[in-house]
Amino acid sequence: MASRNQNRPPRSPNAKKEGLGGIPFDKRRKVETQGTGRRQAFSAVNKQDVTMNSDVGSIEDCGKVEFTKDEVLALLSERAKAGKFDTKAKIEQMTDIIKRLKVCVKWFQQADETHVQEKESLKVSLESAEQKYNHKELEARTKEEELHATISNLKENVVSLHEKLAKEESCKQDAIECHRREKESRVAAEKVQASLGEELYKVKEEKLAAKQKVTSLEDMYKRLQEYNTSLQQYNSKLQTDLETVRAALTRAEKEKSSILENLSTLRGHSKSLQDQLASSRVLQDDAIKQKDSLLLEVTNLRNELQQVRDDRDRQVVQSQKLAEEIEKYQENVGKSSQELDILIAKSGSLEETCSLQKERINMLEQQLAIASERQKMADASVSLTRTEFEEQKHLLCELQDRLADMEHQLCEAELLRKKLHNTILELKGNIRVFCRVRPLLPEDGGRHEATVIAYPTSTETRGRGVDLVQSGNKHPFTFDKVFNHEASQEEVFFEISQLVQSALDGYKVCIFAYGQTGSGKTYTMMGRPETPEQKGLIPRSLEQIFQASQSLGAQGWKYKMQVSMLEIYNETIRDLLSTNRTTSMELVRADSGTSGKQYTITHDVNGHTHVSDLTIFDVCSIGKISSLLQQAAQSRSVGKTQMNEQSSRSHFVFTMRISGVNESTEQQVQGVLNLIDLAGSERLSKSGATGDRLKETQAINKSLSALSDVIFALAKKEDHVPFRNSKLTYLLQPCLGGDSKTLMFVNISPDPSSAGESLCSLRFAARVNACEIGIPRRQTSMKPLDSRLSYG
Ligand code: ADP
Ligand code: MG
């Protein structure tokens, strides 16, 4: 630093203490070049640093003052400004300035000298520098040429790069386009993510519940696996049994048919033989008659013969007498020789008749022999026919025995069928859920385009899946069976007919219809009885029961059916078959619980339910039931108009008790079929519900949640099942759980405005569908079939 400063003008004493140290190096250099314009090249000056050190010593004598151009100009301007101050100060200032200027002038003179020397040395260095410069210029030119070449190369490069750039640009545009699209999709994805987030939250909740369920299910699964293996063994055994029984059955059937054929041919044969017998009997009778007549004739002839013989004897006696007389007369010869000749002729003719009579007797005797021969033959054929007849009779008895045997086998096969049928139902699960979606009705508003229900078509869920779309979200569900809006009443009934058969086989069966008002519960249960193809499950079940009971009558079964129908409204039972028809006033009293009839529910030890004061009808024909159904529908509709659409706010329970006795096998069955049209499951907005409506809603909510509580408690095999929490569950207690069979229809309306309620119904049904009630009885207690059948 010190060496650099030596080439600069002395600094003014007024200059800032930090001096140039405070000014950036670049600025200082600029000042130097401006201020010392005479210097040729800074580098050259630097080279002179050592030589100039001696000169600097003289500058340092001037008080080590350095000046920059600005400072000098500032000094000069200070002088110019001086006029504004008072004279004394001005003089002092001026002298100071003059002093400083003198120093400055001195420094300039010294600097001039040093500059002359500097100039010379600079000239020398300039020359060498010029040489260097020329040399460098040459180098630079060659380099420039090289550079030109490289520039042209680079230009070419640039052109190609421009092309590339253009391409890149287009690529970039594409990428931007892509990016934009991606952005859009990302926004959509974010929306989806948000909805998924919501769903995730719900799913998490469900997962929690599911986890709990999983633990209980795992436990159950283990037990079920054990049960399953034993069941599989049992099943395979049953299958082999079934196979053998089937084979035996087919063999028996073949035998039976051949025997029947035999029998019919034998019958034909026997008939012909009987005909023959009859004809031979007739012949025999004829022959006997002929024989009798011949015998009569023979006796007549014998009599005649006897007479003739007597005559002859008499004649002989006479002739002897006559001969004696002749002898007497011969003595009197000549007297009566004429008389003698006549008498001889007479005796000759008599002898002739006698021989004729003899011939005739011989002929008759021959005829008699032939007739008796014939009679003998007829007798022989009769005895032959008789033995044949006996043989046929024996064969017939044998065949009848075999037929009875076959019928017995058939009875056993029927029992086995019941057993297998029940096993199949047990394997299907003792609680099942079917979903039925009704068609869109004109009163729904006919918004066909806004379909909210879809049916998945994948093979594993076909016929079992249903999707509900609500505000863009798809909720998929699967059940044991899903009926779409096109399903007919017949198709629906076909699926439950096996359950109805179970009731006839001695099981307790409950079929519920669940769903909001207007979703098709009553249509499913009752249908439109006036049009045969729209009849509901109740009339169809009854028809099946009557038909089956009649065909089972051939196997010795006699059935007795009892029917009752009731309604539960606001936790109060109302008899729909009561003969003294309830008036509107009584209805009101019944609802407030002040009616004379109590309808108390009790269960006996055999699992039979009894409701006091309830009307129960013995029915033996479908006609009788139809009239009862009509009566019930009428008393329900009376309630509907008078009690603010009560029908949709009450549970309808149809109960049929079936008791069957087989006198030949002494078996007994007691089954129960309950068909229940539940109250509408829709939630009422709490704010709008007051008074009676609020009471109704609370009662419905209570009983429906009691029903689900019972189902879930049974599924979890809890010690306490809250049957007593509602009238409905208490009434159905023996028919829920155990080895009873439960089916729930969840009815769905496709109307978009009902989507919320439909979702609630489907969720409820899905929870019920996840339940398995009851361990199949045969698994736990391998009871013989008979004992099972003798217990209701
Ligand atoms: P809910 O008993 O659930 O209140 P309904 O059985 O009274 O409902 O049904 C409401 C309306 O829809 C009725 O007019 C009924 O005839 C009609 N309906 C329901 N299900 C069907 C169906 N599967 N086919 C034709 N019409 C139906
Ligand atoms: Mg209804």
pLDDT tens-digit map of 724-778: 999 999 999 988 877 788 899 999 999 888 888 999 999 999 988 877 654 434 2
438 lines ligand 1 (CB under 6 A): yes
- The pLDDT tens digits for 570-626 are 889 999 998 765 444 344 444 444 456 778 999 988 888 899 889 999 998 888 888
Per the listing, tokens 């066909």 go with: 448
**What does pTM read for this prediction?**
0.50
- The pLDDT tens digits for 109-128 are 887 788 788 788 888 888 88
Angstrom distance (rounded) from CA 227 to CA 243: 23
Q: Which amino acid, one-letter code, is at 601?
A: I
Burial readout 707-739 (b: 16 or more C-beta within 10 A, e: otherwise): bebbbbbbbbbeeebebebbbbbbbbbbbbbbb
CA 438 to centroid of ligand 1, rounded, Å: 7
**Which residue, judged by its Cα, is nearest atom 12 of ligand 1?**
520
293 is in an annotated binding site: no
Angstrom distance (rounded) from CA 633 to CA 780: 42
Nearest atom (ligand 1) to Cα of 747: 3
Residue 6 · residue 53 · CB < 8 Å? yes
User: Residue 227 contacts by C-beta under 8 Å, 6 or more apart in sequence?
Assistant: 775, 779
pLDDT of residue 329: 66
Q: Which ligand is nearest to the CA of 490?
A: 1
Residue 690: burial class (beta carbons within 10 Å; 0-12, 13-18, 19+):
exposed
The three-state secondary structure class of 35 is helix
Instruction: Tell which phi-psi region holds residue 13, choosing left (phi > 0), alpha (psi between -120 and 50) or beta.
Output: alpha
Angstrom distance (rounded) from CA 322 to CA 329: 9
- The pLDDT tens digits for 322-376 are 778 777 767 777 766 777 788 888 888 999 988 999 999 999 999 999 989 999 9
Helix (H) or strand (E) holding 481: strand 481-483
172 is in an annotated binding site: no
pLDDT of residue 690: 67
Q: Which amino acid, one-letter code, is at 569?
A: Y
523 lines ligand 1 (CB under 6 A): yes
- The pLDDT tens digits for 623-637 are 888 888 888 888 876
- CA 293 → CA 301, 304, 372, distances in Å? 12, 16, 12
DSSP β-bridge partners for residue 657:
562, 672
DSSP β-ladder status, 431-437 and 741-748: parallel
**Which residue, judged by its Cα, is nearest atom 1 of ligand 1?**
518
Neighbours of 440 (CB within 10 A): 19
Angstrom distance (rounded) from CA 525 to CA 677: 7
Nearest atom (ligand 1) to Cα of 528: 16
Task: Give me 569's structure tokens.
Answer: 């409204």
- CA 644 → CA 587, 686, 746, distances in Å? 12, 18, 24
Average pLDDT (703-722) is 87
pLDDT of residue 513: 96
Residue 78 · residue 93 · CB < 8 Å? yes
Residue 772 · residue 429 · CB < 8 Å? yes
Residue 118 · residue 126 · CB < 8 Å? no
Task: Indicate the range of 56-70, 148-162, 294-308, 765-779 predicted with least confidence.
Answer: 56-70
Q: What percent of the chain has pLDDT over 70?
A: 80
**Which residue, judged by its Cα, is nearest atom 21 of ligand 1?**
438
Q: Which amino acid, one-letter code, is at 779?
A: Q
Mean pLDDT of the chain: 78
